[in-house]
Structure 1
Amino acid sequence: NLYGGLRCCAHLRSIYPEILTILGGGYPTTELRRMTDARLFDFVHLVSLDDGFEPLQAALLMLQGQNGGDSLPSCAFRQNGKVVYTGVVGNGQGLKFAEIPAPDYSALQQEAYFPLLDTANPMHRLWSDGRWNKLTLAHGCYWHGCAFCDTSLKYIRKYDPSTAIVVVDAMERVMAQTGSSGFHFTDEAAPPVLLRDVSLEILRRGLQVSWWSNIRFERAFNSGLCILMAKAGCIAVTGGIETASARLLKLMNKGVTIEQAAQTCRNFTQAVIMVHAYLMYGFPTQTVQETIDSLEIVRQMFESGIIQSGFWHRFALTEYSPVSLNPGAFGIMPDPSEGNGFANNEIFYTEQRPVNHDQFGEGLRTSLFNFMQGVGFDVPVNKWFGTKQPGTRIKPDLIAKYCSLVMSEMPGQHRRIVWPGYPLSIENNTGKYDLLWVETPEKSISVKVPHGIGEKLLRILTPEKMERITILLVSDFVKWMGITDDTEADLLWTQRWMIKMREAGLLIV
């Protein structure tokens, strides 16, 4: 991207020297924060760091003669042959993320772009084989705690979510501009509550869309939320399982356990949403045994069918991460050299207890390739490497046991009941029970309900006029069912007819 971008800038400046060229985005924000080599400005006039909307706005005003270069917030440019950085302008708060308009694709010549199939990895193919409309649900990361991530930088540290209505309005505008209904939400980690609300808004409007995003494999993604996301068009999620080691996940402050990750991956897979796992090896203090055990965890996840794609990354120490800012806590010693005059982010370091992590790279990649093809599960994980390695200590049924456990589905009062709008009808009987018929798109389902319950469900769940789905708080649902006792309310979710209704499409999210 950098090379191609600079070639484009050079071409533009040779033809239209009066055009202002600006380099921005993730690469300059992380890599170009302390340049001394000014040759980059042979190609671009400005480098924008962090959020780009206000620097672009200030640059336009500068072109109109309304301000000078010192009013450009968080930018770099060349002055008298040297690189000059500007600081924060004003109060530094910037615009609320929900106030920033959606991208304008109206002048984009989509037909000039061609799909590129350069890998057999199913998730990487999703990235490159075709195009996606790019939108973001929230600025920054709501967790912003992982020790390996550049969490001290504003674009990750400052969490500022949009709203479901703003996001779905943007989706409709972009679809009208591009004729494309596929979306990639480019979040650091899409917030579960906002994903819920966006999914509900998509269903309310009856939009036919496909989308995917990066998430955290946490407990909030219960079976109901995953099914809701799938109904709203979610086809895939990506997320970090990282080292798949309990000790290391705690050390890196991931905030997710292997058990939680396994159950969340199961929920997505059961909802027919593809799961891609970011995997990591070589994290500081990681031992040979932990690397072998993490591969066994990954092997079991693939064999259980709860993840379908993955990629191993070698840990890299980056300048703005908690590991870099507190290296002693992670048993490393950063190289004291001052870097170079251009890009600076990855830092060389030595471990206080060195381990040859390079010996694992090829074996990890080869085993993962086999797992993604559905083969190689019978190979002991220590045999994938060209050198003698210890066997795993992980029990062979660990992931299967985790996946057999069901997360607590006793819903809190603040959660939502969602009925997807399937028609309901009652067949009254003379005894204690009636039959409630649910007409799903695939088949008719009968639910045996106590006399009187069917009429209540029909009244509560049937969508209002002009509405496609029914959404209500759990507290309101319980009240309208005529339940006032807390114990009775808890027992409601364990009733056979309630379980059958959830199988027929009723969601708790």
Structure 2
Amino acid sequence: ALLRLASLAYYPITFTFTTLKSPLIKDFDDLLKLCDDPEKNPFLPFYLERIPPLMEACKPELVGISITTASQMVGGLTLSRMLRRLYPTIHLTLGGRHMLRLGQSLRELPGYFEAFCNSIVMGSGELALEALISGLKEGRSLESVPNLLRVDAGKVMESDREENIPITEVPAPDFSDLPLEQYLSPTPIVPLRLSEGCYWGKCTFCSRYDTRRFATITPKTAVDQMEDVQRKFAVSAFAINDDCLTPVYLEAVAKEILARGLHVGISLWCKPVAQFTADRLQLLARAGVRLVRWGVETGHPRILKLMNKGTDLEETREVLLASSRAGIWNHATMILGFPTETLEEARETIAFLDRNQDRIHSSILFQFSLLSHSYIVRNPGDFDIVNIDEPLTPFSYEHPFECRSGMNREGFDDFWRWAARHRVDTIYGHPLWYYLRNREYLLLYAARYGRKHTAQWKVCVKGHIVFKAGDRLEIMVKRPEEIPAQLLDMISGLIEAGGEVGLSWIRENLRDAFLIGFALEEGRVVGTLTHKRPKEKYLKYLRKKTDLDLTGYLERGYTYLRPEYRGRGIADRILKALMQGSPGRSIYITIRMDNKDAIALGLRNGMKLAARFINERTGHEIGLFTSTSHTA
């Protein structure tokens, strides 16, 4: 909130801890104006004050600036532009992943070099920088420097050599020049890179589709680097940001960590495949994995097939459940607006998050972007795309496009606004992790406090006060006709999110219920229990299965509690209030015999097992419990 307030001084630029967005940049001239304007550019005054003394102290002949994301572009190019003007004899070279993605635009912009730099390293920089330093020192032509773009006689020239050091030969990272103790973090977090490329490399939306072979450093080398960095810089938290690492490889790394007795906290990017078994995930947790960002992407099988993720939704659910049980925080990345995606399919992705909140502890929504070099750009017809335009600016690699089917732009924009609100307001209830705005901070919380406690912290929107789930709870019991329609919809949505009952009759049964109990916190329904009037057809079915006549009984059901509220006695409180509102009434409830928590709740509150039977449709054994004595 404070950074958003501070960014008003530079309107229409907005910035946070990790992002900066500027609608002012539409072309090359706009970029130049912004980089030279101290009134609109928050970086330039800072650089003008801080950088010249540093330059005078070290008197460099070569300066390299890495720009890895679009959010770093304004800051990085402002610095480069300022240095270019103040120190024209210094050779300025740019690099980083964002520069690599803008390669085609840069090849067509010789003016870019005059304004910002002498050269640009496209790709790996180790050999390129070594050759560049040697060439500058000896006064040789730079045409032999690998991976380099430069300008000669007003034309952008590209090295005919591409050379990279295999990742297996790249040394451990050196953080000795960074004042890690000054970073806004209680303990340093540093990135590690264990691989190059992606072992899958087939996701149709990815700009790195099938572009590079996959290679990793050995598990021993990976842990050597962790141990070395921990010893030298007192680091215990590592963000391993590789695109995708195999379960077998991660198992080997985990065993090496445990064999050495290292104490670390680790975050990973992973693809939720069945090879992440429960045993493997338990092993990763013991080795220090505290946060995994899973590429789930969608909750609809047709869209998942179009994405070619190589994953299955049911397998994904099993992997996430096993990961959660191991104590790992699961963060899901989701994409909305994929070509041909309908409104119903997009809603299914949001429903997937809601139904699986017990195993998806946090998530982020991305709007689909059509990226240069992706499979979709190369094969638009496979995705019903009829027109692809060039990126709107030279500094973007996202293509506007038209699709014959799926949501239109206006319909998607409306859905996006609803989905963004629903995720925060309803599914997660303004969780603390959302306001951290930084996955590295989330790693620190998960590592220190654990998955369960971190999930329980909420934020009161009005005063931005942090509290624990359940501390501001209201227990209510009402007749259906006493409950406002909007609140009844929230109760129904919560029951549907539980996913344990048939969905077709929920709303009708709630409207016809005897009494509905529910828990509210900050206007959000977080738990519910209902005394229903059972349908005659169902009572006949139960009599046939159990020989019990339940005429006149109320049926207790639609029991659901949001995961972060479990274990605090809230279900007992709702149930006791419901029982007080139903004096003298006989109650029955049917529970799957493997649902130990629900059985324990009933037994604690006076229910007794009266009969057992098999549900032929599902094959599950069902227990019938009553509030009066029967012989089971």
The aligned residue for residue 237 of structure 1 is 292
Contact 1:21/1:46 (<8 A) preserved:
yes
Residue 324 of structure 2, aligned match among 253, 258, 269: 269
Do structure 1's residue 108 and structure 2's residue 108 form an aligned pair?
Answer: no
Paired position in structure 2 for 1:317: 370
Which secondary structure state, in structure 1, belongs to the residue aligned with residue 221 of structure 2? helix
Task: Tell me how far apart the structure 2 counterparts of residues 399 and 242 of structure 1 sit (CA, whole Å).
Answer: 24
Q: 1:263: how far off?
A: 0.9
Q: Deviations over 1:416-445 (max 9, x none)?
A: xxxxxxxxxxxxxxxxxxxxxxxxxxxxxx
Q: Distance in 2 between matches of 1:223 and 1:316?
A: 34
Q: Which residue of 2 aligns with 1:97?
A: 167
* 1:306 to 2:359 alignment: yes
Matches within 5 A, 1:224-263: 224-263=279-318
What SS class does the counterpart of residue 151 from structure 2 fall into? strand
Q: How far does the alpha carbon of each residue in 1:179-212 deviate from its partner, in whole angstroms, 9 at most, with x for none?
A: 2121111101122222111111111111111111
C-alpha deviation, 1:82, in angstroms? 3.2
Aligned to 2:112: 40
Written as runs of structure 1 = structure 2, the 5 A alignment for 1:40-189 is: 40-41=112-113, 42-65=115-138, 68-89=141-162, 94-115=164-185, 131-152=188-209, 154=211, 157-189=212-244
CA distance in 2, matches of 1:298, 1:189: 22
Q: Does 1:24 align with 2:95?
A: yes
Deviation (angstroms), 1:168: 1.1
> Retained in 1: the 8 A contact 2:389–2:399?
no
* CA distance in 2: counterparts of 1:363 and 1:19, whole angstroms: 51
* Cα distance, 1:141 vs structure 2: 0.6
Q: Distance in 2 between matches of 1:16 and 1:134?
A: 32
Q: Deviations over 1:426-481 (max 9, x none)?
A: xxxxxxxxxxxxxxxxxxxxxxxxxxxxxxxxxxxxxxxxxxxxxxxxxxxxxxxx
Residues 2, 234 of structure 1: CA spacing in aligned structure 2 closer, same or farther, 3 A cutoff? same
3-state SS of the aligned residue for 2:202?
A: coil
Letter in 2 for 1:314: Q
Aligned-partner SS, 1:71 = coil
Instruction: Tell me what 1:450 maps to.
Output: none
Aligned to 1:343: 395
Partner in structure 2 of residue 221 of structure 1: 276
Q: Given the two structures, how large is their TM-score scaled by the length of structure 2?
A: 0.54
- The 3-state SS of whatever aligns with 2:99 is helix
Deviations 1:366-394 (A, max 9, x none): 1111322389xxxxxxx99xxxxxx99x9
CA-to-aligned-CA distance 1:316-362 (integer Å, 9 cap, x gap): 0011100111000011023345x577324111110012522222111
Structure 1 residue runs of 5 or longer lacking an equivalent are: 116-128, 376-382, 385-390, 402-509
1:141 maps to a residue whose letter is: C
Counterpart of 2:143 in structure 1: which amino acid?
A: D
| C-alpha distance in structure 1 between counterparts of 2:324 and 2:367, whole Å | 27
Report the secondary structure of 1:368's partner residue: helix
User: How far apart are the structure 2 equivalents of 1:287 and 1:358?
Assistant: 13
Q: 2-side partners of 1:52 and 1:221: how far apart?
A: 34
TM-score normalized by the length of structure 1: 0.67
Provide closer, same or farther for how the CA distance between residues 258 and 298 of structure 1 changes in structure 2, counting only shifts above 3 A: same
Gaps of 5+ in 2: 1-71, 432-484, 487-491, 503-632
- Pair 373,354 (structure 1): closer, same or farther in 2 beyond 3 Å: closer
Q: In the aligned structure 2, how far is the partner of 1:399 from the partner of 1:58?
A: 63
Write out per-residue CA displacement over residues 147-166 of structure 1, whole angstroms, 9 at most, x where no aligned residue: 00013474xx3211111111
Deviations 1:56-108 (A, max 9, x none): 2222222232853222222222222333333434xx5x332111112111121
Amino acid at match of 2:79: C
Question: What is the identity, as a one-letter code, of the residue corresponding to 2:310?
Answer: G
- Aligned mates of 1:256, 1:52 — CA distance in 2: 34
Q: Which amino acid aligns with 1:238?
A: R
Q: Give the length in aligned residue pairs.
A: 367
- Deviation (angstroms), 1:39: 3.8
Q: Are the counterparts in 2 of residues 33 and 49 from structure 1 also a CA contact under 8 Å? A: no
Q: Which has the higher contact order (CA 8 A, sep 6+)?
A: 1
Report the identity percentage: 28
Letter in 2 for 1:25: G
> Structure 1's 336 and 87: CA in aligned 2 closer, same or farther, altered over 3 A?
farther
Deviation at 1:13, TM superposition (A): 4.6
Larger radius of gyration: 2
Q: CA deviation at 1:17?
A: 4.7
Pair 1:78–1:114, CA change in 2 (3 A): farther
Give the SS at the match of 2:138: coil
Distance in 1 (alpha carbons) for counterparts of 2:277 and 2:327: 14
- Cα distance change, pair 52–29 in 1 and its aligned pair in 2 (3 A): same
RMSD: 2.9
Distance 1:249 1:130, change over 3 A: farther
Q: CA deviation at 1:111?
A: 3.2
CA contact (8 A) 2:384 2:403 kept: yes
**Residue 399 of structure 1: how far off its partner (Å):** 8.7
**Match of 2:144, as an amino acid?**
S
Q: Quote the residue 1:353 is aligned against.
A: 405
User: Is the Cα contact below 8 Å between 1:297 and 1:399 reproduced in 2?
Assistant: no
